[in-house]
């Protein structure tokens, strides 16, 4: 098995590919928005199969996610880390400055996904650590993410990795109104 992480950040007109860390594999070719959308939808559907309403589940497809990933790849404030193995992407972390009232003042982990068959091997923890390190390097003093309150497995993982739930809120969508919790880390 060969794992290859990739951190893509776009600066000006040139693309810059950076290592996540020397001990976590070697960078490969640039990830595409289509690859990110396909992986995101597949893992989201697995994760939220029993949590999201059927209408929301049915609406989420690659065509809906593709423009979001195109925008993220074109924004230099967004960092995208991908874990690959020979069959494709197995893990993803997407960070950016906090957006919206709930995330203002935080470096935000917008997406953190690992294929279910690769969980429990330390890869998710390493991916989270790399995301937090990237936010710290970008000058953020605090990091946060939103987790669906009913996602007990993710909540336990974040607690185990030092995250602290500090705020309950209702996320209005875009796919469904979900009861969420903000999980925070101190980066100082």
CATH number at residue 51: 3.40.630.30
Domain membership flag for residue 82: yes
141-160 exposure pattern, b = at least 16 Cβ within 10 A, e = fewer: ebbbbbbbbebeebbebbee
Residue at 170 is within a domain: no
Position 9 scores a pLDDT of: 36
Confidence band of 23 (pLDDT split at 50, 70, 90): very low
Look up residue 31 and give its DSSP letter.
Answer: P
For residue 47, give its domain range. 4-141
Report the predicted TM-score, pTM, of the whole model to 2 decimal places: 0.83
Asked whether residue 165 is assigned to any structural domain, the reply reads no
The pLDDT tens digits for 34-91 are 999 999 999 999 888 888 878 877 888 899 999 999 999 999 999 999 999 887 999 9
Query: What H or E segment, with its residue span, contains residue 78?
Result: none
Q: Give 172's pLDDT tier (boundaries 50, 70, 90).
A: confident
Within a domain: residue 155? no
**Residue 78 domain-assigned?**
yes
Position 148 in a domain: no
Asked if residue 54 is part of any domain, the answer here is yes
- Based on the structure, what is the number of domains in the chain? 1
The CA-atom distances, in angstroms, between 89 and each of 32, 80, 148, 170 are 11, 12, 23, 30
* Strand duo 142-148 + 107-114: pairing: parallel
The verdict on residue 127 lying in a domain is: yes
């Amino acid at each position: 098995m060969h794992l290859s992480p990739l951190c893509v950040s776009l600066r000006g007109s040139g693309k810059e590919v950076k290592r996540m860390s020397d001990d976590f594999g070697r960078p490969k070719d640039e990830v595409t928005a289509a690859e990110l959308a396909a992986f995101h939808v597949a893992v989201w559907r697995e994760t939220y199969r029993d949590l999201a309403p059927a209408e929301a589940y049915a609406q989420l497809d690659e065509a809906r996610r593709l423009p979001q990933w195109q925008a993220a790849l074109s924004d230099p404030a967004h960092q995208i880390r991908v874990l690959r193995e020979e069959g494709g992407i197995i893990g993803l972390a997407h960070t950016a400055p906090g957006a919206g009232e709930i995330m203002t003042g935080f470096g935000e982990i917008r997406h953190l996904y690992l294929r279910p068959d690769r969980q429990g091997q330390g890869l998710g923890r390493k991916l989270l650590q790399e995301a937090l390190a990237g936010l710290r390097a970008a000058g953020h003093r605090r990091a946060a993410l939103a987790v669906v309150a009913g996602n007990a497995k993710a909540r336990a993982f974040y607690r185990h990795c030092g995250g602290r739930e500090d705020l309950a809120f209702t996320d209005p969508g875009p796919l469904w109104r979900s009861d969420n919790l903000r999980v925070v880390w101190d980066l100082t």
